[in-house]
């Protein structure tokens, strides 16, 4: 009789532990689907000598902290965008910058001045603006 009772207690113990694991997994999944942002509100007030409110400033910020739980989504989205970006702008790296700063045949005079790169940047500012507009349009189209 003792063996039967101890066997039944042992079965209850095993079933209870395994159901705890299943419930814990369900709680984790539920917390991911109903993740709420962490909110931070800062209020700054200034008063004059008479106690009147003179200045009032507040900031409200929030962020979702589930990136550690769902980091694969963040990584995949970033890498997908990165692939699309470099497909749209294949010359964005070294060849583009070489063209940007070293395409002029009269650069030997400017090269030995102290402000070579800043002057080149000023000369090519319109080109950068057009490039940035194209880059933003690719990002906005992707997201």
Q: What pLDDT shows up at residue 35? A: 66
Residue 17: its pLDDT value, please?
Answer: 59
Angle between helices 125-142 and 116-123 (to 10 degrees): 70
What's the rounded mean pLDDT across residues 22-31? 51
**Structure tokens of 70?**
């769902």
- pLDDT 10s digits, 107-127: 555 555 677 677 777 777 877
DSSP one-letter string for 31-100: HHHT---EEEEEEEEEE-TTS-EEEEEEEEEEE--TTTTSHHHHHHHHHHHHHHHHHH-TTTTHHHHHHH
Instruction: Give yes or no for residue 104 having a pLDDT over 70.
Output: no
Convert the pLDDT of each residue in 38-72 to its tens digit.
889 999 999 999 999 999 899 988 776 655 555 55
Minimum mean pLDDT among 3-7, 34-38, 69-73: which range?
A: 69-73
Please tell me the pTM assigned to this model: 0.28
């Amino acid at each position: 009789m003792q063996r039967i009772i101890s066997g039944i207690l042992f079965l209850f113990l095993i079933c209870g532990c395994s159901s705890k694991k299943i419930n814990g997994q369900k709680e984790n999944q539920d917390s991911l689907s109903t993740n709420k942002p962490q909110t931070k509100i800062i209020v700054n007030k200034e008063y004059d000598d008479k106690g009147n409110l003179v200045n009032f400033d507040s900031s409200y910020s929030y962020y979702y902290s589930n990136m550690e739980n769902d980091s694969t989504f963040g990584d995949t989205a970033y890498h997908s965008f990165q692939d699309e970006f470099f497909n749209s702008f294949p010359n964005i790296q070294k060849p583009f910058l070489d063209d940007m700063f070293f395409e002029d045949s009269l650069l030997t005079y400017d090269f030995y001045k102290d402000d070579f790169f800043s002057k080149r940047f000023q000369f090519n500012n319109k080109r950068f603006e057009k490039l940035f507009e194209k880059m933003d349009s690719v990002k906005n189209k992707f997201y």
